[in-house]
Structure 1
Amino acid sequence: MQTRNFDLIAFDWDGTLFDSTQIIVRCIQAAVCDVGGKEPTEKAAAYVIGMALMQALAHAAPDVPPEKYPELGARYRHHYARHFNDLSLFAGVLPLLEALKARGHRLAVATGKSRRGLDEALQSVELKGVFDGSRTADETAGKPDPLMLHELMAQFDLPASRILMIGDTTHDLQMALNAGCASVGVSYGAHEPEAFTVLNPLHVAHSVQDLQDWLLANG
């Protein structure tokens, strides 16, 4: 078996494994309008994906006063719940994860979702038990703070050099950089890949198959 360069591969969720970017964008836009804010552009709404929920909503709706944040969060959750069953894994994700597990990698999720949201998503796509660990924004610091990755290092007793972070946003790659970990970007999610360059990812994958090919050759 080829020697592994990374013992733990940590994935972002939305826009990296889960095909949810456009629905999240629409839910953010609708929630902001519901509380009287100016509808954010698609680009502005997509930019905040990956952040902790309230941090993301506040950033996307700078004209909404803080006293309306609880209502803003509630409206986002309302819209997202209506579309939850419309979401699915990107094609090819399950074979990718199976190939990495067979190669002996440990797998984790590091996401801006809540613990409840991630657990529901894992249950809905029958992924219980596939991941060896996970961190969510409501139980640790949100991206790009490196705490999620630091906690995974401690959990698996691994140095930063043995962990690879994969994500679709600059928040993911900045978190990896802040933690001293290598990263890989994917171009099919929320952020334009041109923004990844300054964050020094080892690779930018343009499809799940591209990601799998690169990981099996270099991971």
Structure 2
Amino acid sequence: MFWMPVWLSIKTSLLSSMITFILGTAAARWMSRRRFAGKTAVETLLMLPLVLPPTVVGFLLLVILGRNSWVGTAAEWLFARPVVFSWGAAVIAAIVVSFPLVYQSMRVGFESVDDELEDSARSAGAGEWQVFRWITLPLVRRAAVSAYILAFARGLGEFGATWMVAGNIPGVTQTLPTAIYVAVSNGDSRLAWAWTGMIVLFSWLLLAASGTGRGPRKRD
């Protein structure tokens, strides 16, 4: 009983952070190298979940993925079950709310890369994948690590959108934040403190791993 929300939170955060990292990195790479009309509007749309209340994000996901939408209907036909109020819905909610953090971190990282370094590699005969693998990625490594950890931490702490679209089903969608809310509502402060301690510990370890709070390295 105690460990089930912990396991579900870790499982949800692991999967959602991996998917978010791939999508956010691809979007950031593409947007950092393109100039087109309406780019500001597209970037605003990509960053919107960062400023919207989580319950609003959850409501929109509920409308999009519900049985009355073509997306929800197609997904239900494909998976033989509704998407909403399932573990998959919790993963989707975590992906949506954490995407802006990955996108913003990786976009800044990509824009900090000197174009001349990539162009020099291309002129030496390197293909686009080789340039990305051997030139760009090493230069944005720190941004990539921070982006992934932020995505994992955001998914771990997601509450509002998850509650709206995935609900609070013990053993299925009950993650640590929703479990803490229920424990407090039931007056079980001991259980609430235990779960709160777990999520604080996880968050502290993630921030420590990302190097948040470290000052800039001194150069000799």
TM-score bucket (shorter structure): under 0.3
Question: TM-score, with normalisation over the residues of structure 1?
Answer: 0.24
Larger radius of gyration between Structure 1 and Structure 2? 2
Query: Which structure features the higher share of helix residues?
Result: 2
Question: TM-score, with normalisation over the residues of structure 2?
Answer: 0.24
